Structure 1
Amino acid sequence: MKKYFENYLRNRCSGKDFESFIELFVDKKNQPVLEQQMKENWEETSQGGATPDLSSTLHKIHFEINSQEKSTGKSPYFLTYLTRIAAILLLPLAVAFFFQWQKSGQPDEMLQTVSTPLASKTSFVLPDGSKVWLNSGSSIRFPQEFDGDERLVELTGEAYFDVQKSEQPFRVKTAHFTVDVLGTAFNVLAYDNEIPAVTLERGKVTLHTKSKKQATLLPGQQAVVDTIGHEIALTEVETKLFSSWIDNQLILKDEPLGEVVARLERWYNIEINVIDQSLMEKRMTASIEFESIREVMELMELTLSIHYEYDKDQRKLNISKANN
């Protein structure tokens, strides 16, 4: 295992070696050894900082590979999808999680960036002991040590924070708003192409927009931010619907198809095109854990009266009206 692992990292794998490595990887009894190799590589190549929790990602990759190998029927793209997982997602994702170091404006201050590709997520502990879960297609930047007047992190995408209490304020900065807290647990949704929102599970947070509008959230409340007028709308919600992803669950409750598609694209790292826009009015309720995309699409065919096909030339799923 170690030999194959090192050869892969150094781009010295032959086709046969790579196939052998994949066979070793999908054997679950080798997972502890692989995790240890990943962590050792991180410690050897990094300049310090948090080590990501790789267990949920390994679980996800194992499930996807095993399910795609076993799949049959009308989904011929799954073998291609398996190859893509192995070649693109497998080790570059799990080994590095795109940890990056860069100098800030102050020469002695180091900033650390953690990013997660699509179809993956990770969790880690910040320098102050606060825990962060980072969802797919997201990025967060923070200093090596919180030694100033505030604990500032910058987020693009989605993250769940369980903040360690301190007199030093904790602040999450996004493109459209900033969240100020002292000690609490909350979810921040701030993808570039989605309506941003903050959902509070416990404690209290204050949200500030660029136009100086602000709102204070209590447990069970969600703040949705208008990115044009920067207005804030507060509603009562089921917080579990917005934080279940940290437990490897995607819970959909009467969600419009447009939002469902956006979440599935990130969850499975696949492009989905809705051909008939009238379908956007349909709504879906489901709980997804480790089901394959094929299983999810077949469920949608049954419950939403749609039809899906995979376009192998453009590498995307197309959704259209079902032929009755």
Structure 2
Amino acid sequence: MKKFFQKYLENRCEEDEFNLFVDLITKQGNENELSTNMLEDWNTMPLYDEAPDLSDTLHQIHYRINSQEVPVPRSRKMMTYLVRVAAVLFIPLAVTYFLQVYKGRNVPAVYQTVSTPLASKTSFQLPDGSTVWLNSGSSLRFPAKFVGGKRLVELTGEAYFDVAKNGDPFTVKTSRFDVNVMGTAFDVMAYRNEIPVVTLERGKVMLETRSGARDFLTPGEQAHIDTLQESITLSKVDTRIFSAWIHDRLIFQNEPLSAVVKRLERWYNVDIHVDDPSLMDLRLTANIEFESIREIMELMEITLPVKYAYNKDARKLTIYRKSTNANK
């Protein structure tokens, strides 16, 4: 248990490790071992001079519970699981709070992470008043309080930022590049295994890759970051297309099916397989707002030479080339 306990406090648990940790600490008979781990953390962790404001953290607890994908109607078993998850999330907060109140020494900053599962998104405010919209399958890590004259957040996936101006630089760090701003509105897409894209709506931002390549964006520009060549390519775009998702819309404008499939997978939480690789070069223009995945596929059958099969229970969808034989 000790290994999982420490990894959880440091926010390094994978999903399977987290589930195992939940089972371990809620299993009858493990109370003494859990108490021992908490006491060790109490005695070794340095402390704050004053108790922090935990309201933002409490919001994250509520968000994580509410964002669980549960079937309808909710069973007693699922509700019991969510209560157990809430208890797990509260453990490090309770330990930290009492340490801070009663011991008065300095510790490193406390970090929070907001994550969105597939087929969902959320918006929230950072400690400086900046607003963040977090797209599906994404996460953002940030300190409970920005200190030291800098505002640094770490992004995996896609987020739209409306940054509050306060004189301190604001940096979005991804695994492959950084975005540096003062006060501005922009979208960063940095999913794993996809070409990173930054779109600027207003203000000014500077991009910097891990190799030191730099470039500046002005409003209406979009940057594609080639992580192999460590280069940045700028182009003029309609920024409304790339920020429409924060208003519950997906806009495709002459996009290849390869890009459409990836966005639909995240938007609807489905696994899409394209049977014929040559179909990936087909182009789609569409405006999606409240349509179901079946409605989207029926639209594609009308506008593209494709047909589809959908297994709702497995959430798997296959796209085929439409036969040219009139008898089929």
TM-score, normalised on structure 1?
Answer: 0.70
Q: CA RMSD in A?
A: 3.4
Using the TM superposition, give the Cα deviation of residue 99 of structure 1 relative to its aligned residue in structure 2, in angstroms.
8.1
Matching of residue 239 in structure 1 with residue 239 in structure 2: yes
Instruction: Spell out the pairing of 1:106-121 with structure 2 (5 A cutoff).
Output: 107-121=107-121
SS in 2 for 1:317: strand
Using the TM superposition, give the Cα deviation of residue 47 of structure 1 relative to its aligned residue in structure 2, in angstroms.
4.2
For residue 49 of structure 1, the aligned residue among 53, 56, 67 is: 56
Q: Does the C-alpha gap of structure 1 residues 99 and 307 become closer, same or farther in structure 2, counting only changes over 3 Å?
A: farther
Q: Does the C-alpha gap of structure 1 residues 313 and 267 become closer, same or farther in structure 2, counting only changes over 3 Å?
A: closer
Stretches of 4+ aligned residues off by more than 3 angstroms: 81-87, 89-92, 98-103, 311-315
Letter in 2 for 1:196: P
Q: Does the C-alpha gap of structure 1 residues 274 and 184 become closer, same or farther in structure 2, counting only changes over 3 Å?
A: same
Instruction: Report the number of matched residues.
Output: 252
In structure 1, distance between residues paired with 2:292 and 2:207: 37
CA deviations over 1:240-265 (Å, ceiling 9, x no partner): 11100000000000000000000000
State the partner residue of 2:205.
Answer: 205
State the partner residue of 1:5.
Answer: none
Using the TM superposition, give the Cα deviation of residue 149 of structure 1 relative to its aligned residue in structure 2, in angstroms.
2.4
State the partner residue of 1:150.
Answer: 150
Instruction: Spell out the pairing of 1:125-274 with structure 2 (5 A cutoff).
Output: 125-274=125-274
Letter in 2 for 1:178: D
State whether residues 99 and 112 of structure 1, in contact with CA within 8 Å, keep that contact through their aligned partners in structure 2.
no
In structure 2, distance between residues paired with 1:287 and 1:173: 31
State the partner residue of 1:318.
Answer: 318
Q: Does the C-alpha gap of structure 1 residues 260 and 99 become closer, same or farther in structure 2, counting only changes over 3 Å?
A: farther
In structure 2, distance between residues paired with 1:274 and 1:161: 33
Q: Does the C-alpha gap of structure 1 residues 276 and 186 become closer, same or farther in structure 2, counting only changes over 3 Å?
A: same
State whether residues 149 and 169 of structure 1, in contact with CA within 8 Å, keep that contact through their aligned partners in structure 2.
yes
SS in 1 for 2:168: coil
Q: Percent identity?
A: 55
In structure 2, distance between residues paired with 1:85 and 1:173: 40
Q: Does the C-alpha gap of structure 1 residues 116 and 309 become closer, same or farther in structure 2, counting only changes over 3 Å?
A: same
Letter in 1 for 2:152: L
Using the TM superposition, give the Cα deviation of residue 315 of structure 1 relative to its aligned residue in structure 2, in angstroms.
4.2
Q: Does the C-alpha gap of structure 1 residues 315 and 124 become closer, same or farther in structure 2, counting only changes over 3 Å?
A: closer
Q: Does the C-alpha gap of structure 1 residues 287 and 86 become closer, same or farther in structure 2, counting only changes over 3 Å?
A: farther
State whether residues 199 and 220 of structure 2, in contact with CA within 8 Å, keep that contact through their aligned partners in structure 1.
yes
**After the TM superposition, which of the residue ranges 285-294 and 304-313 deviates more from structure 2?**
304-313
SS in 1 for 2:148: coil
Q: Structure 1 unaligned runs (5+)?
A: 1-45, 62-80
CA deviations over 1:254-282 (Å, ceiling 9, x no partner): 00000000000000000000010110110
Q: Does the C-alpha gap of structure 1 residues 82 and 155 become closer, same or farther in structure 2, counting only changes over 3 Å?
A: closer
Using the TM superposition, give the Cα deviation of residue 187 of structure 1 relative to its aligned residue in structure 2, in angstroms.
0.2
State the partner residue of 1:37.
Answer: none
Letter in 2 for 1:125: Q
Q: Does the C-alpha gap of structure 1 residues 211 and 193 become closer, same or farther in structure 2, counting only changes over 3 Å?
A: same
State the partner residue of 2:44.
Answer: none
Using the TM superposition, give the Cα deviation of residue 314 of structure 1 relative to its aligned residue in structure 2, in angstroms.
5.8
Letter in 2 for 1:286: A
Q: Does the C-alpha gap of structure 1 residues 286 and 144 become closer, same or farther in structure 2, counting only changes over 3 Å?
A: same
In structure 2, distance between residues paired with 1:85 and 1:296: 27
Instruction: Spell out the pairing of 1:286-297 with structure 2 (5 A cutoff).
Output: 286-297=286-297
Q: Does the C-alpha gap of structure 1 residues 312 and 151 become closer, same or farther in structure 2, counting only changes over 3 Å?
A: closer
State whether residues 187 and 242 of structure 1, in contact with CA within 8 Å, keep that contact through their aligned partners in structure 2.
yes
Using the TM superposition, give the Cα deviation of residue 191 of structure 1 relative to its aligned residue in structure 2, in angstroms.
0.2
CA deviations over 1:18-66 (Å, ceiling 9, x no partner): xxxxxxxxxxxxxxxxxxxxxxxxxxxx9431637x99xx9x99xxxxx
In structure 2, distance between residues paired with 1:183 and 1:315: 41
Q: Does the C-alpha gap of structure 1 residues 196 and 295 become closer, same or farther in structure 2, counting only changes over 3 Å?
A: same
In structure 1, distance between residues paired with 2:70 and 2:169: 45
In structure 2, distance between residues paired with 1:125 and 1:82: 26
CA deviations over 1:158-206 (Å, ceiling 9, x no partner): 0000000121100000011001000000000000021101100000000
Q: Does the C-alpha gap of structure 1 residues 129 and 313 become closer, same or farther in structure 2, counting only changes over 3 Å?
A: closer
Using the TM superposition, give the Cα deviation of residue 83 of structure 1 relative to its aligned residue in structure 2, in angstroms.
4.6
State whether residues 269 and 315 of structure 2, in contact with CA within 8 Å, keep that contact through their aligned partners in structure 1.
no
Instruction: Spell out the pairing of 1:275-290 with structure 2 (5 A cutoff).
Output: 275-290=275-290
